[in-house]
């Protein structure tokens, strides 16, 4: 049999299957952590968001129990940090499924609820909640809405 260029006869060892199928392991991009001081300051009164931010960047938790650490590790799967903001990406299935929503503190939620109430024609609380939930995520949003209406 004659040897022709490209038939593999010039190889001394047969190539590994990775050369044919591609990389077998995922590649990860390693970057420096962004400055989260502004984000942490924004959520200093929100323990849920503080714990999630710490879990996302892999920081050790303050004096937390094992249960609290596990809870934060589980919750972090529903959040992401992008553009200096904390985003909620989990939840919302079925007819009310939503894209990512910006996380806001309770005080910010009260301000946003006031704006929504005034611009939306003084909607009822439930209509305001639906409108806000399409764009924002905040703990105890119902309380923030009631506070804004009163």
Structural tokens at position 143: 């309380």
Phi, psi dihedral angles at 88 (to 5 degrees)? -95, 120
Give the model's pLDDT for residue 55. Answer: 85
Structural tokens at position 139: 């703990």
Q: What is the pLDDT along the chain (150 residues), one digit of tens a residue?
A: 677 887 777 766 655 655 655 556 666 667 676 778 889 899 999 988 988 888 888 776 667 788 877 887 888 888 988 888 999 987 666 666 678 899 999 999 999 999 988 887 767 778 888 888 888 999 888 888 888 888
Phi, psi dihedral angles at 137 (to 5 degrees)? -130, 125
Neighbours of 52 (CB within 10 A): 25
Which residues, other chains included, contact 40 with Cβ-Cβ below 8 Å and sequence gap of 6+? 50, 53
pLDDT in tens, 47-85: 889 888 888 887 766 677 888 778 878 888 889 888 889
Which residues, other chains included, contact 93 with Cβ-Cβ below 8 Å and sequence gap of 6+? none
> Distance from CA of residue 134 to its chain's centroid?
15
Give the model's pLDDT for residue 25. Answer: 64
The residues spanned by each domain of the chain are 32-95, 104-150
Expressed in angstroms, the distance from the first to the final Cα of the chain is 91
Give the model's pLDDT for residue 107. Answer: 93
Give the model's pLDDT for residue 111. Answer: 93
């Amino acid at each position: 049999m004659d040897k022709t260029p490209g038939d593999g006869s010039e190889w001394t060892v047969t190539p590994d299957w990775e050369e044919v199928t591609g990389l077998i392991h995922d590649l990860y991009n390693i970057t420096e952590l962004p400055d989260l001081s502004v984000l942490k300051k924004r959520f200093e009164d929100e323990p849920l968001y503080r714990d999630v931010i710490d879990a996302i960047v892999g920081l050790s938790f303050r004096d937390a129990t094992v249960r609290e650490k596990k809870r934060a590790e589980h919750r972090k799967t529903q959040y992401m940090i992008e553009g200096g903001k904390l985003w909620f990406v989990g939840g919302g299935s079925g007819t009310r499924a939503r894209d990512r929503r910006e996380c806001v503190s309770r005080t910010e939620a009260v301000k946003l609820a006031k704006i929504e109430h005034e611009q939306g024609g003084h909607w009822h609380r439930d209509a305001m909640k639906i409108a806000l939930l399409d764009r924002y995520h905040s703990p105890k949003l119902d309380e923030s809405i009631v506070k804004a209406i009163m």
